[in-house]
Structure 1
Amino acid sequence: MYRLDPRYAPAPQAVLTVGWQAAAAQLPSEPAVLAVEGPPTVDWDALAEHLRRALTATPVTLLDVRGHYAPAAEIRTRTERPEDEEDPYFRKLADNPLDDLFDTLPAAARPDEGLLVVYGPGAALVDHDLLWYADLPKRYAEAAAVAGTAGTNLGLPGEKPDLRRLFYADWPMLDRHRDALAPRLDGWLDLQDPDRPVWLDGPGLRATYAALARRPVRTRPYFNSTPWGGHWAQRTLGFGPDARNTALGYELIAPEAGILVGTGPRAQAEVPFQLMCVLEPQSVLGAEVHARFGTSFPLRFDYLDTVGGGNLSVHCHPKEPYMRERFGWPYTQHETYYMTLGGPGAKVFLGLREDADVDVFRERVRQAATEGTPMNPEDHVRAFPAEQGQLFMIPAGTPHASGAGNLVLEISATPYLYSLRFYDWLRPDADGNPRPLPYEHGFANLETGRRGAAVARDLVQQPRTVREGTGWREEVIGALDEMFYEVRRYVLDAGAEADDDTAGRFHILNVVEGDGVTVHTAAGDRHELAYAETLTVPAAVGGYRLRAADGGPVRVVKALVR
């Protein structure tokens, strides 16, 4: 059965406690400076008050670094480029250090007695003796920005939130800052339950990551809602029964993914998957992948749920030079769609028609965006039957969309913030406003040569068996020279076993049909993987075996860097 909360035990030497009193008990009795770092979505005033109350036997002095930020206009000047103001849709990823928030850092001399608590985003820049990181996963920040919660943006504590700034400025700055702190953190504080935080000691956190980087691991899944979303995940997996829909399923999107570490649902900390890549890059990624991508985990698995929903927007993703120079990401967003479910009449839009006239296409898109004139994408873009088990290749620059009635397992390069829409069916957003159409970006990246028969030949590939044994075979179901990863599939009879080896580069697995498999590693680890679940097999695992459940045949999709 699909697990909504895959959880892993902390390392044996780790200290994991629950509650403010238990967290405060980890602090020294001698005078010291504690810096508590973290994102702006943390309720910093409440955190400071909770710590002060919990430290009843210790004099506490509080220093809020947010009161020492540079003026808001100056922060904007430092963190925005002129071209950012010209583009209403996207920004280049910010490369600022966090000290750009300050003119002068506050002084924090060690007290004669008790504890000086320096807190807020940027607290770690102040001289300190101990360092904690107080965290809320990124989904909280996105929800706060959508809700209009003041103080969501970095360095702008009293201002109305800007979702675009959150994605392209705040998160890159915060991620680099957090990643640099990871080797010396003394404690990790999970504040998802603000009255019962979960605290994990820094050495224990790093030991836990070291163990998880050498065994198969699942990240915590999550579904959001969008105007096009469907209901498969609600009905089949039990996600968000009260939500308006389940649209984008975060199975493994490394910049936002978390790993649950703990002993039970009320004693677990969600820690970033990305920090495991920072602390254990060769174990997770493998030496060659690490050399190519640094600590960026380059693949993602997610779901696009349009079962009972609508068509996705017709869009493309930036080609690599454009992605690198205009948006600041060093590699681009090649994608694939694996049809986990498809219904009668369901479609996938992909590539240009043979007779497509790009000038006419552009004019129809312009009329839709500026005048609200409906258009038929199939006048310009090819449509294919959404057959269960088919993989569609979507290299950067290729127009595409999933139609309504599908469950797509999207296997993609990790960059995920740059969808260059051409047409969105004149659909309003949740507030009733027209959804943005950055179609000029789209046409600047449109691959006009991939059209007609070449789309079917190159992008709708047929399986090719590369290995087989008793009761099983492994197929390549998608590979292109211009894409740095490929997608394979295991087809296993009930109870069949197949051996594999990471051979120095990570694998990602997802059960697309059947009751599931058990993954056995050469080191003796065992991991169940149910239908629709996604599993990362780090490079350090080496040899492993898949055993299909006894209830019937199983299909498992696998992706790896070529």
Structure 2
Amino acid sequence: MPLYENRINALNTIEIDQNLLKEVQVGNQSVAKTLVDKIIENKATKIAIEGWYGVDFKKIFNLIKEEAEKHNLTVTGKSSAGLYKSSEEIAQYSAKYLTDDPSFGWVNSDGHLRDLLNPKALQELRDLKSESDLLVVYGPGVAVEELSDLYDLVIYADYTMQPMLWQMWDGELIPFGSDEPDKNYFWKQYYYNDFYLLYRQKQYAYTKTDFYIDAVVPEELKLMSFKAYEAMIDEMVKYPIKQVKIMQPGPWGAYRYRDLWDIKGLECNAWNELAGIELSILIDIGLEKPINILTQNIMQRPLELVGEYVHKTFPELFPLQVWLDDGYFPEPVPWERSSMPIHNHPSTQYVQRHFNEPLGRYETYYIVESYKGSSTWMGYKEDADLEEWERLCRDSDNLKVIPNWEDFIKRWDTNVGDLFLIPPGTTHGHGGNQMILEMDTGPSIAGTEYSFFTYDFARNTWDDNTKTMTAKQMKMHLEHSFDNQKWIREGRVRSHHRPRPITQAGDGKYRYDQYETIDEMPFHIERIFMEEEAPGDTQGKFMQIVTLTEGERVTIVSKRDPRLRTTIDRLQACVIPASFGEHTYYNESGRHAMVVILRLKKG
């Protein structure tokens, strides 16, 4: 699945101690020189380069080797690939988590990377008498607990999700136990097993790490002492946090984005993620280049970021996400072109039972822009024969058209400010001719998507190589879709799922609204209208995701410490940490502005 990063106004500028800033290096030669100087200073003979999938470990090793040889040091490198069990044993271990479900798996909630390592190979490494001055062991798993006392220096090399996914989709990702890419590596292997092994190994390795490397751009490494890295994370969670947005083409991809952003190579836009766990973060700490980290890294400070309730109830989970769904077409198109697939989402009980995930997918649609024919599909018509609908969907399996599909699914006219509450099991879909702010719970620590597709109009989908709608039809999830189905009809949608905004506070110059809700929904949708400024508050316990839907620019400033601030553009979001407390929104545009806020009900 192709995706494009949008880094416009994504930089987070923070301050760290100037003495720690001196412990940060940018550029491959500076990185190599600093590491070798430290190796010589510590008289190190064995070092580990631990890290995430996607890192070019061999390149980092070669940089260290070349620099060390300038000092007449002999260097031997050893890849972690030789430490693993056989590929057959790894496949056998992973099978439990891949399952026979064609679309989803079972989260490996308690495994560790050492489960895949060969005890004999670990002992051989411990017993190895290297004839070189320096032994460099590199790759995922080299700094497991069983080897923790082996090294004089431990380096963690990190990589963000998007470029790693590009490697995976292009058949270039090097998996556990190999030095070569696996062209057949399957996404389920990562999202249900490998991610969790990497994540837990990172958590352990961090307790031993001396240096951190941002290895996202292999030609432009950034190195910092782990003390400087920790100070950076400590400081980052004090600020509102902007993330690097991602944009993805798809079968309902539309074109409003062309008026808003210049994204090279993107020819239509279906999804646009504004905030969520799978995005990366760019941090300016006062160097010529920013540091690029995974959002999972700031989850090292859960109490500050998500608050005590989330930390205790859903450990390690970043529970909310925000998407912007394009829907503008310069010329009229049929519903079968402008609409998302007809689909639904699972409850917490469903994902726990079927996928071992912690939280269900609870969703809302907030209409940001509407154009002629703006539409949302939601619920079944009162007279729809639901047994017939299921029969038609199963018979089609999205391979043949259901000519009368509109006889079953209710279409709603929409306008700006409309909100749709979409609890699990509710049949729905973006109908097009509108732009939607989609605000949801995030069910997965890894960022796994849980949408159960029922019918996608038997259309071809997007081929990003040819930039045409000529790829195979999307696969459906019919068993899950109908197993999860609540069969909600239009009357229920009208009475319970289309809430009104209720004013909570205001003085004419600002207004704070909270939308009506229903018990099934675990979060509130709020919005703040302002002429010049307006107050906000996380109450020390509610992480919020704030999106500017009207106006040009808004600056968010802490009342406790005005140094802590950020500025977002229209249709950009930021994460306000639970610990941020009272703050002020300042409208920078000279005309009215409005932010829409997503937060959990419990904190």
Q: 1:452 to 1:5 in 2, by over 3 A?
A: closer
- 8 Å contact from structure 2 (residues 175, 181) kept in 1: no
2:28: which partner in 1? 20
Q: 1:114 to 1:22 in 2, by over 3 A?
A: farther
Residue correspondence of structure 1 range 359-508 to structure 2 within 5 A:
359-369=387-397, 371-415=399-443, 416-430=448-462, 432-448=471-487, 450-493=488-531, 495-508=532-545
My pick for the range that moved more, 398-407 or 439-448, is: 398-407
2:379: which partner in 1? 351
1:547: which partner in 2? 586
CA distance in 2, matches of 1:261, 1:269: 7
- 8 Å contact from structure 1 (residues 368, 375) kept in 2: no
CA distance in 2, matches of 1:371, 1:443: 18
Output one character per residue of 1:157-212: Cα deviation in whole Å (capped at 9) or x when no partner: 44322123222222232223223433443222222321221122211111111112
117, 137, 150: which one pairs with 2:136?
117
My pick for the range that moved more, 164-173 or 110-119, is: 110-119
1:191: which partner in 2? 215
Matched residue of 2:483: which SS? helix
- 8 Å contact from structure 2 (residues 9, 568) kept in 1: no
Q: Structure 2 counterpart of 1:119, which letter?
A: Y
- 8 Å contact from structure 1 (residues 289, 505) kept in 2: no
Q: 1:40 to 1:464 in 2, by over 3 A?
A: same
Matched residue of 1:123: which SS? coil
My pick for the range that moved more, 152-161 or 39-48, is: 152-161
Structure 2 unmatched ranges of 5 or more: 1-5, 330-336, 464-470
96, 109, 112: which one pairs with 1:97?
112
CA distance in 1, matches of 2:250, 2:394: 24
CA distance in 2, matches of 1:212, 1:124: 27
My pick for the range that moved more, 523-532 or 225-234, is: 225-234
Residue correspondence of structure 1 range 25-104 to structure 2 within 5 A:
25-26=34-35, 27-29=38-40, 30-56=43-69, 57=71, 58-81=73-96, 84-95=98-109, 96-104=111-119
Q: 1:529 to 1:93 in 2, by over 3 A?
A: same
Q: Displacement, 1:371?
A: 4.9
267, 271, 277: which one pairs with 2:293?
271
CA distance in 2, matches of 1:471, 1:544: 17
Output one character per residue of 1:58-83: Cα deviation in whole Å (capped at 9) or x when no partner: 332211011232111210111122x8
Q: Displacement, 1:112?
A: 7.9
Count of residue pairs the alignment pairs up: 555
CA distance in 1, matches of 2:292, 2:510: 36
Output one character per residue of 1:286-345: Cα deviation in whole Å (capped at 9) or x when no partner: 222322222211111122223337321111111222200111111111011111222110
Correspondence 1:204 to 2:208: no
Correspondence 1:283 to 2:322: no
145, 158, 162: which one pairs with 2:186?
162
CA distance in 2, matches of 1:319, 1:357: 25
My pick for the range that moved more, 61-70 or 163-172, is: 163-172
Q: 1:547 to 1:261 in 2, by over 3 A?
A: closer
Matched residue of 1:53: which SS? helix
- 8 Å contact from structure 1 (residues 521, 544) kept in 2: yes
CA distance in 1, matches of 2:327, 2:558: 36
Matched residue of 1:393: which SS? strand
TM-score, normalised to structure 1, is 0.92
Q: 1:199 to 1:551 in 2, by over 3 A?
A: same
My pick for the range that moved more, 107-116 or 244-253, is: 107-116
319, 323, 328: which one pairs with 1:298?
319
- 8 Å contact from structure 1 (residues 347, 384) kept in 2: yes
CA distance in 2, matches of 1:386, 1:155: 52
CA distance in 1, matches of 2:571, 2:398: 40
CA distance in 2, matches of 1:371, 1:269: 46
Correspondence 1:520 to 2:557: yes
CA distance in 2, matches of 1:427, 1:158: 33
- 8 Å contact from structure 2 (residues 461, 472) kept in 1: yes
Q: Displacement, 1:402?
A: 0.8
CA distance in 1, matches of 2:113, 2:367: 42
Matched residue of 2:39: which SS? coil
CA distance in 2, matches of 1:497, 1:118: 54
Q: Displacement, 1:375?
A: 4.1
Output one character per residue of 1:356-377: Cα deviation in whole Å (capped at 9) or x when no partner: 3321111111122165133444
- 8 Å contact from structure 1 (residues 234, 241) kept in 2: no
Output one character per residue of 1:25-64: Cα deviation in whole Å (capped at 9) or x when no partner: 1332112422212233223333322221232323322110
Matched residue of 1:342: which SS? strand
Q: Structure 2 counterpart of 1:117, which letter?
A: V
Matched residue of 1:388: which SS? coil
Matched residue of 1:405: which SS? strand
- 8 Å contact from structure 2 (residues 326, 434) kept in 1: yes
CA distance in 2, matches of 1:208, 1:159: 35
Matched residue of 2:251: which SS? coil
Q: 1:2 to 1:516 in 2, by over 3 A?
A: farther
Correspondence 1:333 to 2:348: no
2:12: which partner in 1? 7
Matched residue of 2:338: which SS? coil
Q: Displacement, 1:507?
A: 1.8
Matched residue of 2:268: which SS? coil
Q: 1:445 to 1:40 in 2, by over 3 A?
A: same
Q: Displacement, 1:123?
A: 1.6
Output one character per residue of 1:485-513: Cα deviation in whole Å (capped at 9) or x when no partner: 111001112x1333434342222211001
Q: 1:235 to 1:166 in 2, by over 3 A?
A: farther
Matched residue of 1:392: which SS? strand
Q: 1:379 to 1:73 in 2, by over 3 A?
A: farther
Correspondence 1:225 to 2:236: no
- 8 Å contact from structure 2 (residues 44, 153) kept in 1: no
Q: Displacement, 1:444?
A: 0.5
CA distance in 2, matches of 1:237, 1:298: 28
Matched residue of 1:540: which SS? helix
Q: Displacement, 1:478?
A: 4.8
Matched residue of 2:349: which SS? helix
Q: Displacement, 1:483?
A: 1.8
Q: Displacement, 1:20?
A: 2.3
CA distance in 1, matches of 2:347, 2:291: 38
CA distance in 2, matches of 1:137, 1:224: 17
CA distance in 2, matches of 1:515, 1:356: 44
Q: 1:216 to 1:232 in 2, by over 3 A?
A: same
Matched residue of 1:54: which SS? helix
CA distance in 2, matches of 1:91, 1:275: 24
Q: Displacement, 1:465?
A: 0.8
